Chain A
């Protein structure tokens, strides 16, 4: 097991200070290890997550070689050869478990933002104090964008949040964590070969959730109530002006409708089952302001920082095997890569909707390792 840094490296170094897991503690589990503290409904801080993973690495006796960066992987006789910062390794099979969030994605017009404006990605961001005084434009309204917008607003910053298509979720539904519903109703177990449009499902932005001790919902209505100004998707930066889409109401509608369908699914599942939940609820539609601004002059001092919460992508620059598509994504069938002996784990909807959650890896790993074991057992 090769690790470029330390165990839980990305949780240690590539996340902002206030981040907590989106999954409640009782759900944050790995084979043979689960949370046994006093707050099963709480959400782990980054310190707690790294301690959890450290403990698992120790308990499982996983042969982790830390500080070993893979700079190249290519096919070699009957298998692969990995070039690392600690020498070469020959092997018959490889599992790529480097994750889906190695690099922040920024839109192509990011370069057009005037240099007088500080530009940050979530990899650079640690907390509000690091930003120059003044307003912030947060671009993107997935989990990252809504969390950073809320944190900056709470720190007294004027915040404009640019919103494209997004996934709205309440933190709790009928008295239970919404992720309990995803789990219990079986939705998270939905398999990759049962999903209608897999490519689209794999690109789905992370839901608007935050883990806080108060278990608060952080949807766009909550942000607007805090004084965050909502604008449309950032469509272009032209002559120093940010131009926002006029289609904001439709992305609100799309997300509200999807949320209602999801809650309907939960209610149908719950009906007639003997489970301890509150009565069904429905949430107010996302409220659109009378007018949303379509432009923002980035040369004015209204906004001093642009924070790109526009997603992440994997980094396969080290992978010298032709299994990357034109969009930079790994070509695989449920983690079985189209190159004998090469596998992947921990990518969005790899085999199930829960694939990218800590507890979601277990079932995927069993399936992928079954295939890998058969590959090793097959006569060469």
Chain B
């Protein structure tokens, strides 16, 4: 029997699922980012610490993300636009899901690639037309997957990864957002 290894520790995930069944408290995580304005529409956002499993946690290293607007928006393009970060989040979340589900189902992956396109009518953010929304009108993700599995099994991987995706949920369902001044 060949050993399927996609590098996902599924046993740890399944164990966590068992443990957290009766420990809702420990399952409460808070993810945090701090952001600082640089100049123009350029900002840097830093992420290192988060809370979970009942205590403060930390990534191995601090990560810094530059966000800016492109030159066609008359900006300096010091980083990707904020709305593109949503694409980063969606693609990486679904990809992680595909790998995890594949591992759990005993499917060896050879390559998983995806393209994510978010269609955006910028008349919304410019206030040109009040009927146009600020955010994406729609998003399309296309996966190309090479794996030891049938087309149907691959489609099922992708469907299941959406079903268990934090970012897919955050984008497709409303979230209560509070923004205040300290």
What is the distance, in angstroms, from B49's C-beta to the closest C-beta of chain A? Answer: 30
Hey, what's the 0/1 contact readout for B137-173 against A, CB within 8 Å counting as 1? 0100000000000001001101110110000110111
Extra contacts besides A247-B162, A257-B156 (18): CB < 8 Å: A165-B163, A235-B174, A236-B173, A236-B174, A238-B174, A243-B174, A246-B138, A246-B171, A246-B173, A247-B168, A247-B172, A250-B159, A253-B158, A254-B160, A257-B152, A257-B159, A261-B152, A261-B156
Residues of chain A within 8 A of B168, CB atoms compared = 247, 250
Interface size on A, residues (CB 8 A): 17
Q: Are B173 and A247 in contact (CB under 8 A)?
A: yes
* Closest partner residue, chain A, to B136 (CB atom): A246
A257-B152, A257-B155 are known contacts. Are A250 and B174 too (CB-CB below 8 A)? no
- Given A257-B155, A257-B156, are A250 and B163 neighbors across the interface (CB < 8 Å)? yes
Contacts of B172 in A (CB 8 A): 232, 245-247
Contacts of A247 in B (CB 8 A): 162, 168-169, 172-173
* Complexed CA–CA distance, A253 and B163 (Å): 11
Q: Give 5 pairs: A residue, B residue, CB < 8 Å, sorted on A.
A: A235-B174, A247-B172, A247-B173, A250-B159, A253-B158
Binding site for A on B (CB under 8 A): 138, 152, 155-156, 158-160, 162-163, 168-169, 171-174
In the bound complex, what is the Cα–Cα distance between A379 and B155 (angstroms)? 57
User: A333 to B163, alpha carbons, bound, how many Å?
Assistant: 29
Decide: A235 and B173 in contact? CB cutoff 8 A. Answer: yes
State whether B159 touches A254 (Cβ < 8 A): yes
Contact A250-B173, Cβ < 8 Å, known A257-B152, A257-B155, A260-B152: no
User: What is the minimal beta-carbon distance from B94 to any residue of chain A, in angstroms?
Assistant: 11
The interface of chain A, by Cβ under 8 A from chain B, is 165, 232-233, 235-236, 238, 243, 245-247, 250, 253-254, 257, 260-261, 291
**List of A residues within 8 angstroms of B163 by Cβ:** 165, 250, 254
Measured CA separation A236–B174 after assembly (Å): 7
A-B CB proximity, top 8 nearest: A246-B172, A247-B172, A235-B173, A250-B162, A253-B159, A243-B174, A254-B159, A236-B174
Q: How far is the CB of B14 from chain A (nearest CB, A)?
A: 11
Partner of B138, one of A165, A235, A254, A291: A291
Q: How far is the CA of A260 from the CA of B138 in the complex (A)?
A: 28
Most buried by A among B155, B156, B162, B173: B173
Residues of chain A lying within 8 A (CB to CB) of residue B152: 257, 260-261
Question: B171: nearest residue on chain A (CB-CB)?
Answer: A246
The distance in angstroms between the C-alpha atoms of A235 and B173, with both chains bound, is: 6
Q: How far is the CB of A338 from chain B (nearest CB, A)?
A: 15
CA–CA, A245 and B169, complex, Å: 8
Q: Which B-chain residue is minimally distant from A241 (CB atoms)? A: B174
Shortest C-beta distance, A199 to chain B (Å), equals 9
Residue among B155, B158, B159, B173 making CB contact with A245, cutoff 8 Å: B173
Task: List chain B residues, Cβ under 8 A from A246.
Answer: 138, 171-173
Contact residues in A for B159 (Cβ distance below 8 Å): 250, 253-254, 257
The minimal Cβ–Cβ distance linking A56 to chain B, given in whole angstroms, is 40
Neighbouring A residues of B160 by C-beta, 8 Å: 254
Of chain A, the residue at the smallest CB distance from B161 is A250
Give chain B residues whose Cβ lies under 8 Å from the Cβ of A238: 174
Assembled-state Cα–Cα distance A77/B181 (Å): 63
CB distance from A277 to the nearest CB of B (A): 22
Task: Find chain B residues with CB under 8 A from A233 CB.
Answer: 173
Which residues of the other chain, B, contact A253 by a CB distance below 8 angstroms? 155, 158-159
- B24 smallest CB distance to A (angstroms): 9
